[in-house]
Amino acid sequence: MNRKILIALLLPTFAHSAGADVQWVLGQSTLAYHVSHPLHQSDGVSHAARGKGVCHEGQCDFLIAVPVKSFDSGDSNRDLHMLQVTRGAQFPLVTVRVRLPEDASVSGTLHADLEIEFAGQTKQYKQVPFERVNQGNDVKISGTIPATLADFKIDPPKLLTVPVKNEMPVHVDMLWHRP
């Protein structure tokens, strides 16, 4: 009898963890790209990313999107030039899709395969390391995506006829929470 009661009590808990979808929503975020030029070191920062994650049958799919024009480098002329060379008017969003196993939930380093759509191109990045820190019900994710201009077929912008470097690392700080 006691065993039946115990099973009846535990069953809903198990069903919730194994069958039902779990959703994550991106709260605060900071995305910053870094571009190097012999005369300049520029950082463009955006806090406008939106994201959602859905965990289903042991797999979590995350989608993060950020408007290209939301990146602010402190110079409107440079930002408009960035918007132009990245074809930001025609492809206004950067989207990042990530698939992770649901059990990748402990604090520490996690390695994620990313699919990034940017400037009309799609590029996969394998095993990008991110630091994950659990903060109560929230999860903080930080890491750097080793993007390059060539990955997205972007012609390097020039200043005084000198092009910027190909490397354009994007540092990511995100705080996810369950709604």
Partner 1 sequence: MNLKAGKLIPGGWVLALSLLIAGPSPAQTAGATLSGTIKDSLGTVVPNAKVVVKNTGTGEATEAQANAAGRYSVANLLSGNYEVSVSAEGFEAKVATVQLTVQTNQTLDVALASISTNVAKPALGDLGFPTAQGSAQDQARLDRRSHMLMIHQRLGLITLAPLVATLITSSGASRHGTVAERDWHAALGGAAIGMYAMTATYAIRAPKIEGTATRGPIRLHKTLAWIHGTGMVLTPILGIMAYEQLNRGEKVHGIASAHGAVAWTTSLAYGAAILSVSFKF
Q: What is the DSSP string of the chain?
A: -HHHHHHHHHHHHHHHHHTS-EEEEEEEEEEEEEEEETTEEEEEEE---EEEEEEETTEEEEEEEEEGGG-B-S-HHHHHHHHHHTTTTTS-EEEEEEEEETT--SSEEEEEEEEEEETTEEEEEEEEEEEEEEETTEEEEEEEE--BTGGGTPPPPEETTEEPPSB--EEEEEEEE--
Q: Shortest gap between Cβ of 7 and partner 1 (angstroms)?
A: 28
Which residue, 11 or 89, has its beta carbon nearer to partner 1? 89
Of 125, 171, 139, nearest to 55 by C-alpha is 139
Which residue, 7 or 104, has its beta carbon nearer to partner 1? 104
Window 59-88: contact mask with partner 1 (x via CB under 8 A): --xxx-x-x----xxxxxxxxxx-xxx-xx
Which member of 1, 9, 13, 90 binds partner 1 (CB under 8 A)?
90
Interface with partner 1 includes 121 (CB under 8 A)?
A: no
Window 91-110: contact mask with partner 1 (x via CB under 8 A): xxx-x---------------
Which member of 8, 12, 19, 21 binds partner 1 (CB under 8 A)?
21
Which residue, 61 or 167, has its beta carbon nearer to partner 1? 61
Residues contacting partner 1: total by CB under 8 A:
39
List residues near partner 1 by CB under 8 A: 21, 39-41, 50-54, 56, 61-63, 65, 67, 72-81, 83-85, 87-93, 95, 117, 159-160
